[in-house]
Amino acid sequence: MSVIEIPGHPHPKPGEVPLEAVRACLGDCHRCPLGGTRTNLVFGVGDPHARVMFVGEAPGRNEDLQGEPFVGAAGKNLDALLAFAGLGREEIYIANVLKCRPPGNRDPQPGEICACSPFLREQIRSVWPDVLVCLGNFAMRFVLHTDRGITSMRGRFYQTGHFAVLPVFHPAAALYSRDKQGDLEADFRLLGSWLAEHPAGEGA
């Protein structure tokens, strides 16, 4: 059962609700106070039928200004990392746990996650990817329902229902850490190997 109901889709099957309907349901969202401080709501971008969906934390300054996820420094790093998996931006879908920028890029608060994450859940059900790549702690905790930290979880896949889940460090956290960047590169190579071993259409 879905926490929010998308008008016209009372009992949607996976992949049935178009992303446009999820976006329309968000509207000019003011379900939490971030609606009053954002410049743009950052919904998500990419292939609506992607095999691999990336989940980030929340928009930063550049994303807030441009209305698109991962267009700043972390996004440049994400682009570079995608090459290690043999993927291009046009092949993936990206969305965040929060759709609006927390002031000063502070951590998302529980009430904000509670108000916003049902829309991420609907985006995931709409895209229905084989793989969910969680970028950092907030995405991982939402997807895997865990309190554990990313450092002890990264480096392997977890199966949760239909989805193969790969938690990785947030690409922004690696900008100033060679060790984390090395781990990210290894994890994106692992993603590339997983995709090669699980060709599309053969079930995850």
Pick out residues in 91-120 that bind ligand URA (CB under 6 A).
96
Question: How far is residue 156 CA from its own chain's centroid?
Answer: 17
Among the listed ranges 69-77, 81-89, 124-132, 174-182, the one in contact with ligand URA (CB under 6 A) is 69-77
The residue within the footprint of ligand URA, chosen from 44, 60, 129, 167 (CB under 6 A), is: 60
Min dist. Cβ of residue 107 to ligand URA (A): 11
Residue 53 sits at φ, ψ, to 5 deg, of -115, 130
DSSP assignment of 98-159 equals -SSPPGGGPPPPHHHHHHHHHHHHHHHHHH--SEEEEESHHHHHHHH-----HHHHTTS-EE
Q: Does 150 bind ligand URA (CB under 6 A)?
A: no
The residue within the footprint of ligand URA, chosen from 43, 54, 70, 188 (CB under 6 A), is: 70
Residue 33 sits at φ, ψ, to 5 deg, of -65, -15
The amino acid at 74: A
Among the listed ranges 6-14, 31-39, 66-74, 113-121, the one in contact with ligand URA (CB under 6 A) is 66-74
Q: Does 63 bind ligand URA (CB under 6 A)?
A: yes
Nearest residue to ligand URA, scored by beta-carbon proximity: 56
Question: How far is residue 73 CA from its own chain's centroid?
Answer: 17
Q: Look up residue 76 and give its two tokens.
A: 């440049």
Q: What are the residues whose beta carbons fall under 8 Å from the beta carbon of 164, sequence distance 6 or more?
A: 130, 131, 132, 157, 158, 194, 198, 204
C-alpha span between 108 and 115 (Å, rounded) = 11
The residue within the footprint of ligand URA, chosen from 44, 46, 56, 129 (CB under 6 A), is: 56
Among the listed ranges 12-20, 23-31, 63-71, 185-193, the one in contact with ligand URA (CB under 6 A) is 63-71
> How many residues make contact with ligand URA (CB under 6 A)?
12
Among the listed ranges 7-15, 22-30, 56-64, 158-166, the one in contact with ligand URA (CB under 6 A) is 56-64
Pick out residues in 172-201 that bind ligand URA (CB under 6 A).
172
C-alpha span between 58 and 64 (Å, rounded) = 9
* Contact residues for ligand URA, defined by CB under 6 A: 56-60, 63, 69-70, 74, 96, 135, 172
